[in-house]
Amino acid sequence: MIKKQFDTKEIFLENGIQLVTVKRDSKLASIQVGLRIGTIFEKEDEKGICHFIEHMLFKGTKKRNNNQINQALEERGGSYNAYTDYTSTVFAVTALAEELEESAEILADMMINATFPEEEVERERGVILAEYKTSMDDVEQYSFQQAHETAFQNSPLRYDVIGTEKSIKGFTKIQLERFYYNHYIPNQCVISIVSPMEHTAVEAMVNQYFGCWQPGILQSRNVAIEKHMSLQRVTYKKHIEQNTLIYLYTFHGLSRMEELALEILNHKLGESPNSILFRALREEKGIAYDVYSEMDATEYIKILSIYTAVGEEDVFEAQSIIEDCIHKIQSREICFDEKNVRLMKKVIKTAVASMLEDSSELASYIVHQKLAGKKIEEFEDDLKAMEKIHAEDIYRVAEKVLREPMVHILMGQ
């Protein structure tokens, strides 16, 4: 589909940058610069350092100070963003096509010439500590952090992307710079650009601004892959109105066909606005407003979670309802007939079509596919494979994955 709809080209630049360009008829252009460095690759004393450095790249280069960087990005008239997740760090700009070259120059300056001014390190430390405290006040986010700490002993998934209060307070300018020079290197960088420009023009532009970026030595880091622990834990937090309940499962070792069947199951279980859990907890019992399931099939992660928030008097009833829903799926009391399966396939196809229509989403999809070492047209294979999935495949993967959960309950004091 992507080969038919868009004119694409993939190349490696001399310094190791993997560049993917998509030429399409659009007035917009989107550039995303991604690096294969994220939370799961951090050592014990580095928790949160990738997130800290992401912030610092906006704080000064050899050419621009903090205000000049943000002003230059603002003047592009579009949107700009950066984020760190478990496996990557990404910087993105989407604007009118004529702003692409300026956007590329700014991002290159940030990637290559960051200076980590001492006063900005201290100022940003305060900002990140405020962000950390805000996350602790967010009951949903706090619940997931507690759930991950409960589910894993050795996996880096125990730690939030932002790090710990101790680590945030402890990072020095020297430590940040050393990590930056070691890991923010072109030979672990992917750049995806969706624009109306010719491939050769985009390649020349990227070479002009990113070509001087010197490659470094790729440092292999072992990532602990851990199955979740099967247990139930109750923790307490003051001043909360709603109590939360999280079920967490891991699914390492599934085939791609099994993961696709699990995606269909997840949609019907809790991702859909008319999901099994939504109807049972909200529509039929009226005890929950928020209820959903979500799935992350990224390498090293492989987590399916169920979340709901209820009043204190309804916590254990909600738990009973969730377990009953899962049991009814596994025992085939809840029917996944071919009509249900076709509908869920249609929803997933719609999501793919929506992604392809949006320049920013397409650029994001491409950068993450290439950072993970996957083909950009992999979704075509997935859509074909989905045609071979039937109800029995969904039941089998439910039996395989939805067993021996980690259950975390957060209650008020």
Which residues, other chains included, contact 257 with Cβ-Cβ below 8 Å and sequence gap of 6+? Answer: 385, 388, 389, 393
Cα-Cα-Cα-Cα torsion 321, 326, 331, 335, nearest 10 degrees, comes to 90
What are the b/e assignments for 243-265, b being 16+ CB within 10 Å?
Answer: bbbbbbbbbeebeeebbbbbbbb
Between CA 131 and CA 116 the distance in angstroms is 20
Sheet holding 79-84, edge to edge: 7-12, 18-23, 189-195, 28-35, 89-96, 79-84
Specify whether 54 is catalytic: yes
Extract the runs of DSSP E, i.e. beta strands, from 27-172.
Answer: 28-35, 79-84, 89-96
Classified as helix, coil or strand, 131 is helix
DSSP assignment of 327-344 equals: HHHHTT-S---HHHHHHH
Beta bridge pairs of residue 291? 308
Catalytic residue among 54, 99, 124, 271: 54
Between CA 2 and CA 356 the distance in angstroms is 8
Classified as helix, coil or strand, 345 is helix
- In 3-state terms the chain splits into helix, strand, coil percentages (rounded to 5) of 50, 20, 30
List, by residue number, the catalytic residues: 54
